[in-house]
Structure 1
Amino acid sequence: MLPHLSPDEDDTAARPLLIFAVTGMGGIGKTALAVEAAHRARARGWFPGGTLFVDLRGYDDDPVTADQAVLALLDALGVRDRDLPATAERQYDTYRALLAERQDQMLLILDNASEPSQFLPLLPGTDHHRVIITSRDRPDALPVRLIDLESLAPDDSVALVTRALLDTDERDERPERETEALRELSDLCGNLPLALQIATGILRRRRHRNIASLVTEIRDARDPTTVLDQGSPGTDLYGRSLVLRPVLETSYRRLPPEQARLLRLLCVAPGAETGVEAIAALADFGLAATLRLLEELAATHLVTPVRCVDGTAPAMRWRVHDLVRGFGSGVVAADARLREEGEAARDRVLDFYWRWADAADDRLRWLPGMEEPERFADRGQALAWLDGERAGLVAAVAWGREERFAGSAVRLAQCLGEYLYSRRYFDDWIAVAAAAREATQLAGDRLGEAIAWDHLGVALREAGRAEEAIDAHTRARDLYRATGDHESEAMAWDNLGIALREAGRTEEAIDAHTRARDLCQEAEDRHHEAGAWHNLGNAQQEAGRTEEAIDAHTQARDLFQATGDRHREAKAWHSLGNGLQEAGRAEEAIEAYGESLEAYREFEDWYGEGRALHALALAYEAAHRPTEARAAHFQSADAYTRANAPTEAAQARAAAEPPE
């Protein structure tokens, strides 16, 4: 903001900027910024008339009125005792007259205002001086230059705490020794300057304790403010108490009932960011009413809109600061009525998520002849919705560890497997499947438990944890068998075979896939039979039984084509290409990989596209076509990058570079 305070602004043809409003949540550093800007401006000789500062204490129980503030300003201007006019009206007249008469430009800081009535009467009646107002609320009715402060960047938070500790004791080795703990402490403080200042004070007093000990205390607390305020070091340079909870309480208490309710519910929402539709479900409001309340909360800096990339559309996602979330959760937990209000809201958002995740999953699994899913016209729309809601969906499944939400969480988890697999979010899938497994055990749902074990096995396998995956699939198989679900038992056998092959137990894998194929044939389940043939072929090829593998992959391709599953047909083409390549039939392999690539691209399966291009590059090399091989390697690297597979992308780029 410093450049705008420059007197050079008056040299422009436009009307000079006279009033600045520094806004942000409590503890963000508004006063510190205003005072620092004033010091720097004075050092540059910009305000020879001096600086007037008044703390309006707008969020205290007894805020300063404009009538009280004008007395302090007159006193600073030398008007006191017998010279002080008897009435408030004459006091304002005198104050404005003195400012109008001043030839030397002045800077007026009206700090910590909560209502326009506190500062409007104090604005100069001249455009000669500059004014800075600080507030937690945006003064949208005034023609002012708004400067909205946000939390610090993580690196800046770490640097702030490090510098403060070393300024106190240059021998303090903790910041250098505990870099990860210091970063986590900054995260737990929400990168809020006030919280960081308090945490730094605690670390100064605990100079013989490590940073990790404070991190553990804060992490284990439901509300971080309880730990930070307990260890608060007193007051800051401006004589204000260094405490967090009262700052948040005053902002919360000032909210109208509807806004206060929405803020509480946002604090129990799943995920750090929540979409407008999910918030509407949470609050049981319409979209228009929800958006209006969110915008009103944003004006108080208690929620933050997550802007669209191009900034042309309204914010569709909203974030609550971590410390506000902790405070709000504590408010809800402390009151039985509010707890029930929060749990009913969580029921609603789980129903909302399940409805649309189920529809999106139906679209991802859709085959010709099936009923058209609700809402999502194509695979791209389904993926876009799931991508946007992923954090909330994963967090909502974790609620299944509570008995009330177990059934809903299990239903939701079962809709996410195909998506998390296709997008390769295996850590999320492990978390979802593990939470679902616990929820099914809580609900006594043995079939649901089998599904959860099977999903967990696939996620573990893809994360490179083959032995754990074998155990999970074995449990799933046994549970399916016990419940008499032989079709699902076939899928568990098939998944078990893949995990066995990953663990190097190829002959056992062939047996498992053969068992899966036979069960599918008995059930006349042609689609899953195709999958079993495909996996059987992969195991046979690994065992060196190439011709059997080519036959199995051909069977799989034909069955996937017959059932209209174009996406899995792509995988069958790819595996068939591998078999043909192994058999020395390079041109046929190139044709198979090309068919696979085309299908993967139809489904925006970037990882599959990367694999197909990599295989195609190797086939070109075997066919002595180096230019086409190099181009395919580069294209493979690009596809892997889009698929969030940096290791594979780096390997593909390295393969594309000519040897030195």
Structure 2
Amino acid sequence: MTARYDDHLDFRDSEFAGPVVGKVEYHQYQPAPTALDSLPARAAGFTGRDDELHGLLEALDPTQPGPQAVLVAAVSGLGGIGKTALAVEAAHEARNRGWFPGGTLFIDLHGYDDAPVTADLALQSLLRALGTQPKHIPVRAEERAAFYRTALARLAREKGPALVVADNASSVAQVRPLLPGDSAHRLLTTSRHKFPTLGARLVALDELSTESACDLLGRALLTANPDDARLMDDSASTSALTKLCGCLPLALQIAAALLIADQRMPISELGRALSASRNRLDQLDDGDRSMRATLELSYRALPEQHARLLRMLAVAPGPETGIDALTALLGDGESPLGDLAALERAHLVERGSGRHRWRMHDLVREYAVGAAEGSATLVDEAAAARGRVLDHYLQRTAAAVARLRWWPGTAVSRRFESRAQAISWLDTERANLLATIQWAVEAGHASAVIQLGDMLGRYLYFRRYFDEFVVISSYAQEAAERIGDHEAEARAWNDLGLALRSADRPDEAISALVRARELSKAVGDRNGEAYAWNYHGSALRVAGRLQEAADVLGQACELFQAMNDGNGEAYVWNNLGLTLVDMGRPEEAIDAHTRARDLFREAGNRDREAKAWHNTGYALWCTGRVTEAVHAYEKALETHREFEDWHAVGETQQHLAEVYEAVGRHTEARACWLHAADAYLQADAEREAAESRERADALPAT
């Protein structure tokens, strides 16, 4: 019997039936090759990640003792946001600090490709990099993982700890078998998904700041041509270009490549091309890299339920969407919170201004809108979703504005428990509501445009967003004219006139209000005609045409009196009082404001009664009746605070401060100026707040 050994055959005690030939081969022993320094090169122009790099290095630091040691660090973020560049930069820096004398191993897991690298294949590759001969690599996954951990432990004893970089993972299952058994080593992984179950230090990346994005562009262009001065010569266009690229590193690198390829292309020309393109993603392609292809990989990896939610969120109006509107978009009545959490882990959506508000990056939205337009079925799906969210906003806005305009003794909307809650909802949804009316205009939903325009006008006037009030009133007027609804058109002209007057555009306001007056009379809307006369008189006062204003307001007063409308008449007396003050007739103004105040009280319109108290205070101050003026202002303050009309509170405190300052009561004046500043801040009137603080600081010390 022949015995076989690694280096020879033993023929002793063997029997042979014929000639025997022995062939001997000699092989010099060599260890299997290793790849213990396989890091890719650092990304050219790496910038803007100082905080994230510091956090990663803190996690990788092998000197961290005991429980503070971090075995795994996981960088996550949207495709193209620079995860690999950050991981490679951190790995190079860690190696340069001498932290990993055992080496740095790098493997691309291709997690979002059609054929991602499985954990078994990754272990095989890493074992070969560690010097394990292929014939010794086990077939079974559990044995491979054991060999891998053993090889790392041996490496730690012989050379020191190592860093393993597992790039572009798509699941925890790809990464978990790669965890080292020896806590001296570190694993750094990147993914488009967050891995909260991996026990890792999580580092999530956002888009770059505009400054860092400009720096990235500049470094790329100067690397290619040190004499390239295009960015320095046109900083405004550079900043605009970075925003069109969403401040995503990949998109910026593509834009840089396009500019490098055409050295004569101005920055502004590329910006115009991106702006004019129906889809920026088509333009952000340099032949080697493509933003569309990058986002496509993430989208294709989604289950259909999550893909549909992404498409629905993309067609939602406004920059971010609340959970109620999202539920309306989906139309099935089910809360999508679980699916949203999955999309957040995939970095395709992110939290907005509140815990249950959601938004997405501009380029992701653009991709998802394109996906929603990918077939006739998806186009119909998106249109139906927009219709549902339009109905949602119509209903909620109606309830909120009804609560905003509520008077004692009238029905209360059940949708909002308080006026403050209704105002808060309108403030939160303001951008979405404006986007909704814009979409309704484009889609030809004239009736919805008219309704939203009418309702939002009340809120925008209260919040003093006068320019936006002008825009939505114009939309409503044009929609009503297009469908021939003359009554609605008359109301819209009235709103537009009020908005223009409030925006300090009195001449345009006068033209709009004359048209409102004519149309109201033509359709028999006496109330609308009376308000048009009233607003017209107010616009004439703002234009400085005081006698004309008084005459027109007289006409308005007669119309309201003929209808026995005390509330409407009160508005006229209030405007007439302001006009009389401007005409230098404050005693008559006091009588006018007093009549307005009494009529508002009778009508239950306490909000406007407070305005009349305020105006009375000013007229009294103009006559030198300081004590009565202070009393009138304080009465106004009580109701302004109750109605949370913070701009009105600021104005009243300001006027009180001016009264106290004029009579030398500087302590009271300073307190009022500071109260005015606080109120203006609550009303988002930062300029007025700053001016009030300056006036307080300018008073002499007491």
TM range (shorter): over 0.9
More displaced 10-residue stretch of structure 1: 548-557 or 477-486: 477-486
Find the counterpart in structure 1 of residue 531 from structure 2. 491
Shift of 1:645: 2.2
Q: Which residue of 1 aligns with 2:60?
A: 5
Supply the distance in 2 between the matched residues of 1:285 and 1:542 (Cα, whole angstroms).
59
2: distance between equivalents of 1:437 and 1:403?
Answer: 16
Judged with a 3 Å threshold, the aligned counterparts in structure 2 of structure 1 residues 222 and 476 are, in CA distance, closer, same or farther, namely: farther
Q: Encode CA deviations 1:265-324: one digit per residue, 9 max, x unaligned.
A: 11010111111111111111435x31111111111111101364xxxxxx1110111111
Change (3 A) 1:478 1:196: farther
- Letter of the 1:4 partner, please give it: A
> Which residue of 2 is the match for residue 239 of structure 1?
none
Residue of structure 1 equivalent to 2:688: 648
Q: CA separation in 1, counterparts of 2:512 and 2:351?
A: 41
Q: CA deviation at 1:42?
A: 0.5
What residue is the counterpart of 1:255 in the other structure? 302
Equivalent AA in structure 1 for residue 274 of structure 2 = I
Do residues 295 (structure 1) and 341 (structure 2) align? yes
Q: Does 1:420 align with 2:466?
A: no
Do 1:403 and 1:442's aligned partners in 2 also have CA atoms closer than 8 Å? Answer: no
For the pair 1:100 / 2:156, whether they are aligned, the reply is no
Shift of 1:54: 0.7
Match in the other structure for 2:37: none
Q: Aligned runs of 1:529-608 on 2, under 5 Å? A: 529-608=569-648
Q: 2:329 maps to which residue?
A: 282
Instruction: Describe the superposition over 1:409-461 as per-residue Cα deviations: whole angstroms up to 9, x where unpaired.
Output: 32122211222122222233233223333333343333223333332333333
- Cα deviation for residue 84 of structure 1 reads 5.6
Tell me by how many angstroms 1:212 deviates: 2.4
Aligned-partner residue type, residue 307 of structure 2: A
Shift in Å, 1:404: 4.5
Structure 2 vs 1, CA of residues 60 and 574 (structure 1 numbering), >3 Å: closer, same or farther? same
Cα 1:625–1:117, aligned 2, differ >3 Å: closer, same or farther? closer
Please state if 1:360 is matched with 2:415. no
Map 1:231-242 → 2, pairs under 5 A: 232=286, 234=288, 242=289
For 1:27, the equivalent position in structure 2 comes to 80
Asked whether the 8 Å contact 2:457–2:469 carries over to 1, the reply is: yes
Asked if the contact 1:398/1:436 (under 8 Å) is kept, the reply is no
Report matched runs for 1:63-82 at 5 Å: 63-80=116-133
SS at match of 1:416: helix
**Aligned partners of 1:361, 1:475: CA distance in 2, in Å?**
26
- Deviation at 1:120? 3.0
| Structure 2 residue aligned with 1:244 | 291
Aligned equivalent of 2:45? none
User: Could you list the runs of 5+ residues in structure 2 that have no partner in the other structure?
Assistant: 1-55
CA distance in structure 1 between the partners assigned to 2:464 and 2:231 by the alignment: 35
In the alignment, what sits opposite 2:434? 394
Q: 1:91 to 1:591 in 2, by over 3 A?
A: closer
Shift of 1:168: 4.0
Task: Give the AA of the match of 1:466.
Answer: P
Q: Distance in 2 between matches of 1:177 and 1:588?
A: 62
Q: C-alpha distance in 1, partners of 2:366/2:265? A: 25
Farther off after superposition, 166-175 or 251-260: 166-175
Contact preservation (8 Å) 1:401, 1:438: no
Q: CA deviation at 1:5?
A: 0.5
Whether 2:307 is the aligned partner of 1:267: answer: no
Q: Which moved more, 1:212-221 or 1:156-165?
A: 156-165
Task: Give, in whole Å, the separation in 2 of the partners of 1:642 and 1:427.
Answer: 20
Quote the RMSD (CA, aligned, Å): 2.2
1:506–1:134: structure 2 CA closer, same or farther, 3 Å change rule? same
1:217-270 alpha-carbon deviations (Å, 9 max, x no partner): 2223332211112xx263xxxxxxx21111111211221121111110110101
CA distance in structure 2 between the partners assigned to 1:180 and 1:421 by the alignment: 34
CA contact (8 A) 2:62 2:184 kept: no
What is residue 528 of structure 1 aligned with on the other side?
568
- The code of the aligned residue for 1:272 comes to P
Alignment of 1:369-448 (within 5 A): 369-448=409-488
**How many angstroms does 1:130 deviate by?**
0.8
AA at the equivalent of 1:185: L
Q: Which residue of 2 aligns with 1:508?
A: 548
Tell me whether 188-197 or 444-453 shows the greater mean CA deviation.
444-453
SS in 1 for 2:568: helix
Structure 1 counterpart of 2:155, one-letter code: R
Aligned with residue 283 of structure 2, among 216, 227, 230: 227
How many angstroms apart in 1 are the aligned matches of 2:353 and 2:521? 50
Moved more, 117-126 or 77-86: 77-86
Aligned to 1:181: 237
Q: 2:399 & 2:446 partners in 1: Cα distance? A: 20
Kept in 2, the 8 Å contact 1:367–1:563? The answer is no
Q: Match for 2:124: what amino acid?
A: L
| Distance (Å, rounded) in 2 between the aligned partners of 1:80 and 1:426 | 76
Q: 1:207 to 1:596 in 2, by over 3 A?
A: farther
Aligned length: 642
- Range with bigger deviation, 520-529 or 641-650: 641-650
Residue 214 to residue 347, structure 1, CA distance change in 2 (3 Å) = same
What is the CA deviation profile of residues 495-522 of structure 1, one whole-angstrom value per residue up to 9, with x for unaligned ones? 2222222122222222222222222112
* Secondary structure of the corresponding residue to residue 63 of structure 2: helix
Which range moved further: 645-654 or 49-58?
645-654
Q: What is the CA-CA distance between 1:166 and the residue it aligns to?
A: 4.1
1:613 aligns with 2:653: yes
